[in-house]
Structure 1
Amino acid sequence: MRTRTLAGLGLILLATACSKNTDNAPATTATQPVAASQVQVAPVTAPVTAPTASGSDKLQDYIACYNQLDRNAHRSIARYASWVKNMETGPSGKESVVYGLYKIDVDEIAKCQASFAQAGKAAPGKLDVAATAYINSLAELGTLVADADQYYSRDNYKDDAFAKGKKMHAPLAAAMKLFEEKSNVFSDEIEAENDKVLDAEMQQLEKTEGRQLPYLQMALMSKAKHLIRLIGEEKFDAATAAKALAEYESVTDEAIAYVKKNSESAASGWSSLERASEDYRKAAKERVRRIRDKVPYSEGDKMMLKPGSAWMVEGSQEKVTKAYNELIEASNRMHR
């Protein structure tokens, strides 16, 4: 069982158009993780109607819960799969290293489950169906992981020769597989809806305020997202990726130049966002070069390509994903 590389990626949610007076306040930007690799963005050829406030609030809630919970769930799955060598049969009892699992916050899952149920009552659609399936699968997984985590963290497997661990495996592995499926569907649905909000917001800002910092920040994050959809994949067309990278660099440089000339307009936290944008730029370049030049991973690289260390390998999917997520977090902090 292998989790999708892009599971838990940040996604940009931009709701509520900025007022025309933007001396110190870029538009509200919340960023969200979504497995973006399978979503293709079509160019917007006509204005998109922004969702209603209630629709925007619902999307915001879905994204906030996804950001908070999804990555840890995938990390827990990856940790378990890293030492259970055969996910079909489960632990053999002869493992020399037993890592256990990472905890998943069942209390937060319950909160999100309740808020999702409430949100889904208002004009339910494909996104709401995906949200319900996602949070229910996560709740089931969370309960099983909590039990397994306690069993392994207390070293109880040393007292019963893995008897309970072997018994727990089948339902645990099934819950992991189901969650991964629902996570992929939900992330795709939430990102598609998010794209509509982003496109509408950017059109409105550019029309009413021009290419000032609120617009440039949105454009920067949008280009970053489109880029990760390409280079976050195991394989991609290097020429297409190079074009997407050039577009990201162009708008990022424009935003940096704007702030240098209009430093009073920069929101608190811009310096962190700028640093994160540079780190993402560098990681993206490394990733594109590795694919473009067909550079294989060395033996040392291969040893590092595992949960917890893969992000340190130059040109890896994990390194560029980590840089992208940190860019998302830096953007979010500007509006807290």
Structure 2
Amino acid sequence: MTTPAEPGGGRLDPGLAVIMGERRQLINLAYRLLGSLADAEDVIQETYARWYAMSRQEQDAIAAPGAWLTTVAGRICLNVLSSARARRETYVGEWIPEPLPEPAEWMSGRSDGVSADPADRVTLDESVNMAFLVVLESMTPAERVAFVLHDVFRYSFAEVAEIVGRTPAACRQLASSARRRIRATQAPAAPAPLQARVIRDFKRAWEAKDINALIGLLDPAATATADGGGVVGAVLHPMEGAEQIARSLLHLEGRLRDLTLLERTVNGWPGLVAELDGVTVSVYAFEVAGDRIKRIWAVRNPDKLRPWTAGPRHPTTTTWMDAR
């Protein structure tokens, strides 16, 4: 984004540091609301465009610029969510939220070669783990916005009402409904060290082609979902059952030889990354309950892997959860 100058004077806006200081908060909010870093970046760009479309007098009349930016970003996200529901009905296969790496491994993937600004990175915590984001996807746009703003970012229901365009009481009900959805679908998360051990054992069993070990690490009712977006091959519907998932893994043993599986943090939790010639081609997120893997999400759509690599893509690469 170019640095705005004061109208007519050519001088830098003295309030720029304050306004741009809100960017990290806004990107964190927008990513949790949308589950897409690309969409979140577009929302923040539009938010700032609206701020700088105002005259200096109009800007000075706003007592709390940060609150104004949050309100505008929240309303844009609400509109994006409403339109996204229609777009995802025509999405090829399953839609999975965009996975994020550890900040230390973040790459911009931008064509201009400019590295990502650390201030723009999404803070990784329990509110961005893949299981949580997938539950958010099941909510109505208003539920999602009300819940994330109040329960995650601690905005009052009066403030949420300003963004959602409903009464505080209605927003309270929306957040309550969202909480019920989360309680009904999310199992208590295993401690991170236990998750890391389970994922490491899973990786070793996969590499060793040990079907019994794989089945033993998966919950009998485990599900695996892939997202290729129609850009790369991927199964179009979730796969169910430990044995079916394990056999699918081993079915591709011959095609796995050129790939490297790496243990990585995915949205703040232990996960795996598949690389080909140093380029990330798949990211795997997991939900671990007890000492078993309950859910696996395989993101293969290269448009969702921008933060993981700035290198060339390999859209024809075959990895687990490919279309068969």
- TM-score if structure 2 supplies the norm length? 0.25
Q: Greater relative contact order: 1 or 2 (C-alpha under 8 angstroms, separation 6 or more)? A: 1
- Between Structure 1 and Structure 2, which shows a larger proportion of helix residues? 1
